[in-house]
Structure 1
Amino acid sequence: MSARHIHLSERDVELLFGSGYRLIEKRALSQPGQYACEEKVEVVGSRGSMKMSVLGPVRENTQVEISLTDARVMGLFAPVRESGDIAGSGGCKLVGPAGEKEITEGVIVAKRHVHMTPEDAAALGVRDKEMVGLQIETEERSAILGDVIVRVSPYYATAAHIDTDEANAIGLRGDAYGRICKKMDTHSLLAIFCPL
């Protein structure tokens, strides 16, 4: 489960936290080399604001990842996108202890995805950028989530990422195991749910 967070460019780290500032690693995340930082940034929209954890290391472009619920609460435009696809996405104001900045794009809802090693992708018969379903079993609200993009790299650890809205909808608490489902066409789905 991926909660709201922000990735900062080196320039924006210095603008928000001070010249020469370096992010302080708090704990490692599921993907190698990625980590949660001690720092937080306030993200401000037209209707409200939220403090968000900064994730490291720094990126080329600043990117705010929120849920659709967060977007509505704060009054932000946040299209569903793959990480890094920020052209034409929403903007917001960022407030840090040493400064603030208006960004004109970079606010997104992360498209649900699964990171995979090449070995795991080969074993499961999926390829990079393939769209699959993800079946997740919970005690009361098991579900199959569609439109999950597979991202394959030797630099990844195999793990799926869904946001808090999706996790709450299925009653997910903490980590869980899922099953990759090959995408079915619409006619197959109709045959399953609406037998003729």
Structure 2
Amino acid sequence: MDREELVSIITEQVISQLQQMAKVAPADHRNKKIPLGISNRHVHISAEDLATLFGKGAQLTKLRDLSQPGQFVSEQMVTLVGPKGVIEKVRVLGPVRKKTQVEISISDCFKLGVKAPIRDSGDLEGSAPITVVGPVGSVTLPEGCIIAARHIHLHPADAEIFGLKDGDRVNVKCSGPRGIIFTEVLARVNENYRLEMHLDVDEANAASLRNGDLLEIV
């Protein structure tokens, strides 16, 4: 065996070892930990409302990608108007959805004078009314404003690791000087999801959490 063949064999062995390490690294790295994503107020918008707010033929312009595959922050911003106040420069997230959904925090509710219920995303029936104002027009939603319930996005491979299925509810612990256990956290499993727990700004601030902090199911 010449030197070139020996180098080739060793290289193949190293590559094989690295590939095997890569396969097990995610579970080992996570060690049953879930990274946190903190959600600020935002709007998911329908195609019809997009046209009303930004003009006929308007399309969302990507500013940057979000952690969940296919989801992004757009350059478009709107103003939220409630009975007691307004909140300006609220980001619209893409892609467009079938129905417009406004997600705010409890603190935002006080400022706007809106009684938004805590709901899972997409559960809009009977939720709070709100007016959304864009540069071209405005839309008054009879329902559609919610406080997003805490939840975890999981790919099916992650769900298998954690022993969860779509729709399960779990308790999640964060450590530190303001450690807390978040109860009734919804597990959402989908091929298009990436492992991440979502809290709104109020909840994250209450526990002194930051984006990327690791949480644990208990």
Q: TM-score, normalised by structure 1?
A: 0.90
Question: Gaps (5+ residues) in structure 2?
Answer: 1-37
* Equivalent residue in structure 1 for 2:196, among 145, 159, 164: 159
In the other structure, the counterpart of 2:110 is 72
Correspondence 1:37 to 2:80: no
Give me the CA root mean square deviation.
0.8
* Equivalent residue in structure 2 for 1:127, among 141, 144, 165: 165
In the other structure, the counterpart of 2:29 is none
Deviations 1:80-123 (A, max 9, x none): 00000001100111110000111100000001000001111111
In the other structure, the counterpart of 1:54 is 92
Q: Distance in 2 between matches of 1:70 and 1:76?
A: 8
In the other structure, the counterpart of 1:63 is 101
Pair member with larger Rg: 2
Secondary structure class of the residue paired with 2:147: strand
Deviations 1:131-159 (A, max 9, x none): 10111223x21111111000001110010
Aligned residues, how many?
180
Q: TM-score, normalised by structure 2?
A: 0.81
Q: Distance in 1 between matches of 2:193 and 2:129?
A: 29
Secondary structure class of the residue paired with 1:162: strand
* Higher RCO (CA 8 Å, separation ≥ 6 residues): 2
Q: Distance in 1 between matches of 2:126 and 2:210?
A: 33
In the other structure, the counterpart of 1:107 is 145
Q: Distance in 1 between matches of 2:189 and 2:42?
A: 23
* Equivalent residue in structure 2 for 1:7, among 44, 48, 56: 44
In the other structure, the counterpart of 2:35 is none
Q: Distance in 1 between matches of 2:95 and 2:168?
A: 27
Following superposition, the deviation at residue 174 of structure 1 comes to 2.7
Amino acid at match of 1:168: N
Amino acid at match of 1:110: A
Q: Which runs of 4+ in 1 moved over 2 A?
A: none
Q: Distance in 2 between matches of 1:110 and 1:120?
A: 22
Q: Distance in 2 between matches of 1:146 and 1:129?
A: 14
Amino acid at match of 2:200: D
More helix by share: 2
Q: Distance in 2 between matches of 1:47 and 1:63?
A: 20
* Equivalent residue in structure 1 for 2:65, among 23, 28, 31: 28
